[in-house]
Amino acid sequence: MRKLTSIILFLVVVSNIFGQSKNSPLQISHLTGDFYVYRTFSDYNGTKISANALYLVTDKGVVLFDAPWDKTQFQPLLDSIKAKHHKEVIMLFATHSHDDRAGGFDFYRKKGIKTYSIKLTDDILKKENKPRAEIIIPNDKIFTVGQHTFEVYYPGKGHASDNVVVWFNKEKVLYGACFVKSTDAKDLGYLADSDVKEWKQSIGRVKTKFKNPKYIIPGHEDWNNLESLNHTLKMVNAYLAQKATGKK
């Protein structure tokens, strides 16, 4: 009986740590192999919005792709990863300059984690007087960390002028972040820093370069539909058509 009670208590603790509850501010889901999607939340125009990010477990440590949107989850994410995988986070890549992506640079850099961005992102953060990455990388660069290889790729302007995507060729995982809209999305969302005309061309480059993805992770909402990139293109085309009609 005591053993059963201990097991139940352990499961409750694990459930709390790994954020599987609907109401948890940090929700971690296994994607495939060594890949995990984690979700945090923030208030946007009075509505609670989720943000998806990715982490990869390697022999050398854990690589984060984008920081939590919710700053209160910066440390809990590290704690959860340590408890689950018994590894430290060693690298953080931001896919563009917005707070739901690059907002953790200062915190994680102080933790001794190497932080990365392309120069376009660094220029924006510098102009806005925000914390910047320690390491500036080319727009298109391949990394090998432990047993995994991935490519950071700048397709051109889209959701933001500096948005990059990350491609894992062996596993056919495309981490699109905010460059890709979920199939749940009804519109293109925040467009203050967007170039929708260029977005169409940039999507074409991604589709040409990275063939037959098995997983596509958008920046917000559900990630279980492989049509998310096509859905983004459809919304971009609809937006451009509406703008063209409005000019007549």
Percent of the chain's residues with pLDDT above 90: 85
Model confidence at 3: pLDDT above 60: no
Sheet of strand 165-168: strand arrangement: 140-145, 148-153, 165-168, 173-177, 215-218
Question: What are the pLDDT digits (tens) for 189-226?
Answer: 999 999 999 999 999 999 999 999 999 999 999 999 99
Q: Domain for residue 7, yes or no?
A: no
Q: Domain for residue 3, yes or no?
A: no
Model confidence at 142: pLDDT above 50: yes
Q: Domain for residue 134, yes or no?
A: yes
Q: Domain for residue 229, yes or no?
A: yes
Q: Domain for residue 11, yes or no?
A: no
Residues 6+ apart with CB under 8 A from 34: 56, 57, 58, 148
pLDDT grade for 44, boundaries at 50, 70 and 90: confident
Top-confidence residue, 18 or 155:
155
Q: Domain for residue 152, yes or no?
A: yes
CATH number of the domain where residue 109 is located:
3.60.15.10
pLDDT grade for 247, boundaries at 50, 70 and 90: low
Q: Domain for residue 15, yes or no?
A: no
Mean pLDDT of 14-35: 78
The count of structural domains within the chain is 1
Spatial distance between the Cα atoms of 150 and 102, rounded to a whole number of angstroms: 19
pTM: 0.91
Question: What are the pLDDT digits (tens) for 56-113?
Answer: 999 999 999 999 999 999 999 999 999 999 999 999 999 999 999 999 999 999 999 9
Tell me what the pLDDT averaged over the chain comes to. Answer: 92
Contact 240, 196 (CB under 8 A): yes
What DSSP letter does each residue of 198-224 carry, written as one string? HHHHHHHHHHHHS-S-SEEEESSS---
148-153 and 135-137 beta bridge pairing = unpaired
**Residue the block writes with tokens 């995990």:** 36
Domain holding 66, by residue range, is 20-247
Q: Domain for residue 190, yes or no?
A: yes
